[in-house]
Structure 1
Amino acid sequence: MTEDSPGAQPQTSSGADAPEIDRSIYRYVLRYTLRGQLFLLLLTVLTMPLVYISLDIPKRIINQAIGGVDMPDQILGFGVDQVSYLLALSVAFLLVVVISGALKFYLNVYKGVLGERMLRRFRFDLYTRILRFPSAHIRRTTPAEIIPMITAETEPLGGLIGDAIAAPAFQGALLLTYLSFIFQQDLWLGLASIALYPPQMYLIPKLQAKVNALAKTRVQTVRLLAGHIGETVQGATDIHANDSGRFERAKTSNQLGRIFDIREELYRRKFFIKFLNNILAQVTPFFFFSIGGYLVIQGDVSLGALVAVLAAYKDIGPPWKELLKFYQVFEDTRVKYEQVAKQFEPENMIKASILEDQEVVESLKGTLTASNVSYGEDENSQTVSGASFSLPLDTHVAVVGGAGSGKSHLAGLAARVLWPTAGRLSINDLDWSEVPEAVPGRRVAWVGSSAHIFSGTISHNLYYGLMNSPQNLDPKTEDKAEQRRLREALASGNSTDSAAMPWLDLAAGNLSDERALLEKAIKVLAVVQLDEDGYRFGLGMHATFSDQDGMRARFLKAREQIRAKGLEFVAFDPDIYNVNITVAENILFGNPDDPAFYPDRLPSNPLVTQLLRDAGLFDDFLAMGHKVAATMVEIFSGVSADSELFEQFSLVSSDDLVVLERILRDTTDAAVSDLAQLQEADQEILRALVYRLAPARHRLGIIDESVQQRLLKVRGMLRDELGSDNDSVNFLDAQAFNPGLNIESNVLFGAMPFGKPAVRETICREIDEAITAAGLREYVIELGLTADVGNAGGRLSSIQRQKLVIARALMKDPDLLVVDEALGPLDFNARSQIIKNVCEFMNGRGVLWVLETPALAREFEDVIVMGSGRILEQGKSEALEQQDGPFKALLTN
């Protein structure tokens, strides 16, 4: 059910050129769905004769087939008697009902599809407009306000859009059909049926206007509450630090109270309208029974006609109520639509033409020139005032100044993330404010003081600046699913680009292939001193490979080098119990592929349970678990539930303690005979504690030498039972690379010792040397790039986030790099070294760097000194340092 002809080949669109949103919901609907609405009207017209026929046939059945009056002698040339005529009319009635129902089914589905397409278009248009918001408006708007507008507040539009014309047309046509049938039976009955419509049509719009005003106020109040909740989430730490929770709760309570008052008034007014409709609707049957009964008695109307009229009036109620309901829903939705559309039309929006796609972007050469440029986020303040400068795109310039000097906004103007409110920025006479976003987006790199990290991997963020060349499938593809995706995207006015396809524009980064991309990524990470972090991330990753490059042999070579260093005491050995890993891991001595063999599920694994019985450990595990439980309750008694001790000990949680205390109360002593009386679930809980024990970490003295030897026996029995080649456990093998172990554990083929930091440091150093000697360091960094950064980079430190953003900028090979105090979290020496590295990387290309520390300006050729929004001084850094002036004053202070 699409508006496109099946044979039509889809065109393509990125959706960046979405037109303005109409303030009128009907204009917006008709602009995009006129063809579909007309088709719905056609379907509606086709159903009306069937509705009329469905009303007329029962009358004929009563008067003619059953009453025997005016019955035809034949139908379609076939003779009929009273019974056959009754059967023919009954079959005809059933057939009409089925056809009418099928048409209604198709009509409803089509309405749903039409509505969802428009809802998809509207949400996409709103999202596209977010990308056009001026930065000042973005700073004043919270995500908690914007997100519900695009998601929750637009949801009712889907149902309304499909019904915008079809519902009133269909219900109105039904109503007219029923009324025409009634008028055909008798004029007075017809007049009686519509007598109360005029009062309703006059009163309801006036009452609804009050409801609309309340609905508008409710929407605005809910948005204020959403903003307050978002602010609470972001400022939770400060709320706790200032003990202001009571005040914030009071604010929330007041806002909720305001919403309650509005909704209470809404309910009163909405249900009064419903009450009025119901009362008026029940008055009309009085006229039918009184006037209609009188007419039947007088012989002016047949009983069959009156019954048909009553049946028709019974059917009049639903369409009339649906029309009134549609009017109320439409008015409520119209208010929401207008409120949402208004919020997405801030002043000074970025022109839609700026966002238009540009396939080829030439390198920038020449000079960035500012002529009397000013910038302010409101009429009363200007953070940049009358700034003029020239920046050749092969020089490196530092921008310094105190707080409020306007230096950050000057950098934003140069990078075109801000637009001047006065003056002109240009590159070789090309107006910098008018060029498509593709030009600064691909040829200029911007790094702010708190740049955003996107959810995903390190590589996704590192290559993000190159993701502007979608490798879409041919629009003429024979893939049915892809054809449908393209058609629906076009029908909904969405982007036809597929996010699942490759997007990297290697040519933009002067790269020949993905190998060159990786080499450049490693180089850039080294420039910003993030390569070591990437390497550490890689050590914790798991790897699978086809071994085309002999990777397994190289890893085994690194492992042998570690063994040669005398680190057998941490190594995995099938004949030695490893005290640095848990009992469960020692029993498995491998990595489980079958969930039934996951360490936390071993206590309930039937095979492992039987092996423990065979080794005489099953009852001992119960007694040992009881001892562990008693020790844990004793150690953690009185410790707060959020204490870090639980995580450090990594054996029980605060919730576990409650269960363990109950189990201990149920047992008088630790005798196996007494413990065996516990429920099976409680016994399993106690045994599970033993599975979690790591002797070197927990040091409880429970897993002694004797127990370790018996556990080694269980290990061997498990290997014999499953066999070396099985689908349940991938057993550890010193001569094989194990994908279940991370890189570090594969090279070490052992477990890091607990509580010995000096030994751990030595082992890490040996691992690093072995990996480097085997030529695996680059591969490990490549794996590190696949590490997940968490939501907004939450798994990275602030230093790592800023370094990653600078690396992302350098990956574009920009003609101009603009940095705004991006090294704030680093110390002076680290900042200095990264600046040197970046400037060397950007040799021959432009750099504009807003510095946190004026002394770092010595690393740059030229300096711009800002103060109170104006350029106070500019020139060569060495010359400015020698003369008395603002720059020298900054250095001195």
Structure 2
Amino acid sequence: MSGADSPKGGTIPATRETLPRDVLTYLWRAEPLSHIKLFALVLLLLPFNYASLELPRLIVNGVTDSIGGTVPKLFDFDLTWPDFLGGGVILDLTGFEVSAFGLLAGLAALLFALQLIQQHITRLIEMAKARLGERILVGLRRQLFDIIQRLRPEAPMKSKAMEVGNMLRFEVGPISPFAGMAFAQPLKSAGLIGSATLLIFTQNATLGGCAIGILALNYVLLGIQRRDNATKLQIYQREAVALGKRVMAGIDRLPLVHGFATSPWERAAVDGRLAVVSEASLDLKRQNFTDRVLNLLMSDVPTLVFYFVGGWLALTGAINIGQLVAVVAAYGQIPEPLKELIEWDEKRVVAQVRYDFARYYLETQEVWPKGSQDDTGWEDLPFDGGLKIADLGVVDPAGSLLLDGVSLEVPAGTAVALKGPDAGGKHAVARVCGRAISLYSGSVRIGGHDLSSVPESVIGRHVAYAGGDPIVLNASLRDNMLCALERRPGRPAPGATEPEPAGLDDAARLDRAILAALGLAGLGDLVVRLGLERRLDPEASPALAERIVTARAAVTDAISRRQQDTGRVLIEPFRFAAFNRFMTLAENILFAAPLNDTRGAASLLSDPGLMPELERLGVADDLTTLGLSALRTLAELAGGQDAIADIDTKGLLRAEEMTAARTLLAHAGTGVGLAPDERALLLRVAGRYCEPRHRFGLIDEDWQQRALGTRAQLAHLKEVSGTPLARYQPDSYCRALTVRDNLLFGRIAADRAGAAATVDDLVRECLKQDGFIAQVERLSLDVALGEGGLPLSAAERGKLTLARCLVAEPDLLIIDDALAPLAPSEQSRLIETVLARREGRTTLVVLDSAEPLELFAQVIVLAHGQVERIEGAAELSANGI
């Protein structure tokens, strides 16, 4: 897994996996038995092909002899050696007498039967080739994916994985159709050509010599084609790969491009590559066109030669008409297999080029050795979590010395801290032990076993590394945690090496373990928050929905008591007869939220299905006026309508509405009437308005009463244009609201500082007292964290990395930079909690500030890549630390 020992600070890369240089050798070794089976089918085809070539001569001669008075015989057939080979009979059938029509019909039927047999055998050959090609391609793709899985941490992970991934998906595809035909196709084509040539020789040696001469000329021309095609295809492939790498490099540096406005330079660099690739592509197309013309001449010109020479021989009496027909028919069979040979060679060149690129990745030095992830025979390996390092040396890719002969020992079951300057070597020691650095010299023994000789699967079960580069999957919180446990197909329980049955009890137990790890890593508040922000389907979880409604009274009572004690308004409850200042105007009018509609309640005000009702109640024009007033206020705050997109509109306008809003403001108030889409925009703006949030002074007491009156008139609506409405009712669960809003049955006072945190604390306490906070926390596990965990803060992403390590319950836990985004005091509290929970297990912590050192059995200080000193617990106490 690491390099072997070498001079201090250096490493020797692992042995490369060697593959045959020639694609044909690789294909034969991959499936030798399948190729042999194809050979048998091809050899079975050849006798039937030869017989079908011989029949035209028998038909013509038989009919001619019948006209001349000879009694025709069916199946009167003889096969002889050519005169230049000494003559002699190979096969002689006397047949039986029939009429002229019977002879013609019998031979024609036999020819048809032979064609059917050939078609069936050909179909078997083609299907066998297809299956063989797919099997070989699947095997090659598995090897390529194995490379991605075994990339060393020193490799440029993202670009290397993308390159190998593209190779896996696209580049090796042309190998599949060639793999099945690699050996069977040339044997089949050569056999068919040989059959036709043999029949020509049996008819006339001169024509046979012409056939061999033409085939020899074709072979020479094919060799020229092959060399040219291979050269041009390699150039094109090389330039295309270089273009792909340059594009990926541009993607990696995209933040710098935007930050320093260097896009013209990037475009120019890629344009240069595009020009090179385009020229290489045109050169390849020119070569292909030349090849097609040459192939056409090789197939058509010889046919004319055979007609001319064969006709002359027939006129001189050297051959009869039947033999001439047989020779012409036989040579007519040669161009097709010859064309197949040409296509085979073209595909071989393509496959060889693609295989060469695949072999480059398969033999890369930037991967762990093959078999390093295989745990067969290692399942019962004893592991105590101890760590012993001897003469450890590490050099970074730039050649700088990170560690120089470091030796230290961490006894099993103890907590040890690594301190010192950032560049002193403490991080390098942690990364080597956590396999974030794989190339080193010296010896690292974990659990009594050499890190370089124990499979990754063993280390992964017993060692967990919390580094400073958090990886957050674009998946649910549960899946982000489970990736630490999915070592085999199925989901094993924490600490188990085999998957447990996927029953409900096991799923619940696994969720409890995940929530415990998240809480231990300091993410308890995040878990509760995510659970409260979930929207629950009451039909899918009726018991939980009912329990939330039951707990609503306790939550609102607790908040009311806190409001009375402090005199601060925390929430404003939903009451049908009262206007809620913290709801939007659309929500106040409808007193409901749309289901299965991400546009929100404001979009319904402009819906054609609701517009007639609003006009009948006389509020449509007033809402339009209010929306226009809000837009004008935004324009004043921005300093003009053209700058309206430069300010925070606090949700009144969406990005796609900015252009329409500027156009509307340009002519509004000039007497020009509003278009339907402009009126709809103003209705949406009015519907999104909330006085405490926007503070434009547009909602007064009169407007509140009008909204309540409209609410009463629209209370009968159950849907708008097919969009169902979920109404706010105090005795039922509203599926359009979050769990938090259902518990509060109101809105948090957004204009009160700290109100949201206080309310969440009260809700959490009520849920604990009621005994179902675990159910709410479990809802958080299904929340998607998004690409890269964008909804999470840097501190939360670091804690998630630690939680993922904790749920695996490792014998050795290494905490490196995962907690770096946290404040020193929070780091100290979290480390103390983790160490208390892991008492009796080995924990290695890299310290960046003055954490409580008395928590550790020893503190190892590194500087300048070497161990400066090691202080034990007694020394720490003596120093008053």
User: So what's the TM-score if we normalise by structure 1?
Assistant: 0.79
In structure 1, C-alpha distance between the alignment counterparts of 2:381 and 2:590, rounded to whole Å: 60
Is the CA contact 1:627–1:670 (under 8 Å) kept in the aligned structure 2? no
Change in Cα spacing, 1:817 to 1:366, as seen in structure 2 (3 Å) is: closer
Q: Does residue 836 of structure 2 align to residue 834 of structure 1?
A: no
Report the counterpart of residue 294 of structure 1 in structure 2.
312
Percent of aligned positions with the same letter in both sequences? 23
In structure 1, C-alpha distance between the alignment counterparts of 2:179 and 2:117, rounded to whole Å: 26
Change in Cα spacing, 1:600 to 1:280, as seen in structure 2 (3 Å) is: farther
How large is the RMSD of aligned CA atoms in angstroms? 4.6
Report the counterpart of residue 550 of structure 2 in structure 1.
557
Report the counterpart of residue 430 of structure 1 in structure 2.
449
Three-state SS of the structure 2 residue aligned to 1:30 is helix
Report the counterpart of residue 490 of structure 1 in structure 2.
none
Report the counterpart of residue 277 of structure 2 in structure 1.
259
Report the counterpart of residue 25 of structure 2 in structure 1.
27
Change in Cα spacing, 1:505 to 1:297, as seen in structure 2 (3 Å) is: farther
Displacement of 1:622 in angstroms is 8.5
Displacement of 1:309 in angstroms is 4.2
Instruction: Show CA shifts across 1:799-821 (max 9, x none).
Output: 21111111111112222111222
Instruction: Show CA shifts across 1:579-621 (max 9, x none).
Output: 6556776677556667799969868988656766776778988
Change in Cα spacing, 1:623 to 1:642, as seen in structure 2 (3 Å) is: closer
Q: Does residue 327 of structure 2 align to residue 334 of structure 1?
A: no
What does 1:718-733 align with in structure 2 at a 5 Å threshold? 718-719=717-718, 731-733=727-729
One-letter identity of the residue aligned with 2:37: F
In structure 2, C-alpha distance between the alignment counterparts of 1:523 and 1:191, rounded to whole Å: 86
Q: Does residue 806 of structure 2 align to residue 787 of structure 1?
A: no
Q: Does residue 802 of structure 2 align to residue 799 of structure 1?
A: no
Q: Does residue 224 of structure 2 align to residue 224 of structure 1?
A: no
Instruction: Show CA shifts across 1:199-253 (max 9, x none).
Output: 3423433553354344444444433333332232222122222333233223223
In structure 2, C-alpha distance between the alignment counterparts of 1:618 and 1:82, rounded to whole Å: 98
Is the CA contact 2:144–2:361 (under 8 Å) kept in the aligned structure 1? no
Three-state SS of the structure 1 residue aligned to 2:718 is helix
Report the counterpart of residue 8 of structure 2 in structure 1.
none
One-letter identity of the residue aligned with 1:384: L
In structure 2, C-alpha distance between the alignment counterparts of 1:279 and 1:686, rounded to whole Å: 70
Is the CA contact 1:21–1:125 (under 8 Å) kept in the aligned structure 2? no
Change in Cα spacing, 1:292 to 1:650, as seen in structure 2 (3 Å) is: farther
In structure 2, C-alpha distance between the alignment counterparts of 1:234 and 1:361, rounded to whole Å: 43
Three-state SS of the structure 2 residue aligned to 1:224 is helix
In structure 1, C-alpha distance between the alignment counterparts of 2:615 and 2:321, rounded to whole Å: 89
Give the counterpart of 1:458 among 477, 480, 490: 477
Displacement of 1:276 in angstroms is 3.2
Change in Cα spacing, 1:429 to 1:176, as seen in structure 2 (3 Å) is: same
In structure 2, C-alpha distance between the alignment counterparts of 1:99 and 1:656, rounded to whole Å: 72
Q: Does residue 151 of structure 2 align to residue 149 of structure 1?
A: no
Report the counterpart of residue 495 of structure 1 in structure 2.
none
Report the counterpart of residue 243 of structure 1 in structure 2.
261
Q: Does residue 491 of structure 2 align to residue 502 of structure 1?
A: yes
Change in Cα spacing, 1:90 to 1:742, as seen in structure 2 (3 Å) is: farther
One-letter identity of the residue aligned with 2:223: P
In structure 2, C-alpha distance between the alignment counterparts of 1:790 and 1:720, rounded to whole Å: 32
Report the counterpart of residue 388 of structure 1 in structure 2.
407
Change in Cα spacing, 1:192 to 1:234, as seen in structure 2 (3 Å) is: same
Q: Does residue 26 of structure 2 align to residue 45 of structure 1?
A: no
User: So what's the TM-score if we normalise by structure 2?
Assistant: 0.80
Report the counterpart of residue 708 of structure 1 in structure 2.
707
In structure 1, C-alpha distance between the alignment counterparts of 2:660 and 2:238, rounded to whole Å: 47
What does 1:811-822 align with in structure 2 at a 5 Å threshold? 811-822=807-818
Is the CA contact 1:366–1:393 (under 8 Å) kept in the aligned structure 2? yes
Report the counterpart of residue 88 of structure 2 in structure 1.
none
In structure 2, C-alpha distance between the alignment counterparts of 1:546 and 1:160, rounded to whole Å: 55
In structure 1, C-alpha distance between the alignment counterparts of 2:657 and 2:712, rounded to whole Å: 34
Report the counterpart of residue 13 of structure 2 in structure 1.
none
Report the counterpart of residue 81 of structure 2 in structure 1.
none
In structure 2, C-alpha distance between the alignment counterparts of 1:265 and 1:797, rounded to whole Å: 53
Report the counterpart of residue 653 of structure 1 in structure 2.
655
In structure 1, C-alpha distance between the alignment counterparts of 2:744 and 2:61, rounded to whole Å: 97
Change in Cα spacing, 1:616 to 1:193, as seen in structure 2 (3 Å) is: farther
Displacement of 1:559 in angstroms is 1.6
Unaligned residue ranges in structure 2 (runs of 5+): 1-15, 77-94, 561-568
Change in Cα spacing, 1:715 to 1:776, as seen in structure 2 (3 Å) is: farther
Is the CA contact 1:66–1:86 (under 8 Å) kept in the aligned structure 2? no
In structure 2, C-alpha distance between the alignment counterparts of 1:808 and 1:687, rounded to whole Å: 48
Displacement of 1:691 in angstroms is 8.8
One-letter identity of the residue aligned with 1:243: A
Change in Cα spacing, 1:669 to 1:751, as seen in structure 2 (3 Å) is: farther
Report the counterpart of residue 127 of structure 1 in structure 2.
145
Report the counterpart of residue 533 of structure 1 in structure 2.
526
Report the counterpart of residue 92 of structure 2 in structure 1.
none
Change in Cα spacing, 1:690 to 1:125, as seen in structure 2 (3 Å) is: same
Change in Cα spacing, 1:288 to 1:441, as seen in structure 2 (3 Å) is: same
Report the counterpart of residue 844 of structure 1 in structure 2.
840
Is the CA contact 1:587–1:714 (under 8 Å) kept in the aligned structure 2? no
Instruction: Show CA shifts across 1:75-101 (max 9, x none).
Output: 999997666665666665555555544
Report the counterpart of residue 475 of structure 1 in structure 2.
none
Change in Cα spacing, 1:817 to 1:709, as seen in structure 2 (3 Å) is: closer
One-letter identity of the residue aligned with 1:398: A
Is the CA contact 1:368–1:428 (under 8 Å) kept in the aligned structure 2? yes
Unaligned residue ranges in structure 1 (runs of 5+): 1-17, 471-500
Give the counterpart of 2:865 among 855, 863, 869: 869
In structure 1, C-alpha distance between the alignment counterparts of 2:323 and 2:661, rounded to whole Å: 77
In structure 1, C-alpha distance between the alignment counterparts of 2:611 and 2:370, rounded to whole Å: 68
Give the counterpart of 1:404 among 420, 423, 438: 423
Between Structure 1 and Structure 2, whose CA radius of gyration is higher?
A: 2
In structure 2, C-alpha distance between the alignment counterparts of 1:469 and 1:148, rounded to whole Å: 26
Is the CA contact 2:466–2:801 (under 8 Å) kept in the aligned structure 1? yes
Three-state SS of the structure 2 residue aligned to 1:31 is helix
In structure 2, C-alpha distance between the alignment counterparts of 1:728 and 1:84, rounded to whole Å: 82
Displacement of 1:555 in angstroms is 0.9
Three-state SS of the structure 1 residue aligned to 2:166 is helix
One-letter identity of the residue aligned with 2:496: A
Instruction: Show CA shifts across 1:356-378 (max 9, x none).
Output: 22573456227422222323357
In structure 1, C-alpha distance between the alignment counterparts of 2:96 and 2:710, rounded to whole Å: 94
Three-state SS of the structure 1 residue aligned to 2:715 is helix
In structure 2, C-alpha distance between the alignment counterparts of 1:732 and 1:660, rounded to whole Å: 36
Displacement of 1:126 in angstroms is 1.9
Give the counterpart of 1:748 among 744, 747, 751: 744
In structure 2, C-alpha distance between the alignment counterparts of 1:149 and 1:53, rounded to whole Å: 46
Give the counterpart of 1:444 among 452, 463, 469: 463
In structure 2, C-alpha distance between the alignment counterparts of 1:708 and 1:308, rounded to whole Å: 98
Is the CA contact 1:126–1:150 (under 8 Å) kept in the aligned structure 2? yes
Displacement of 1:442 in angstroms is 1.0
Three-state SS of the structure 1 residue aligned to 2:389 is strand
Change in Cα spacing, 1:608 to 1:81, as seen in structure 2 (3 Å) is: farther
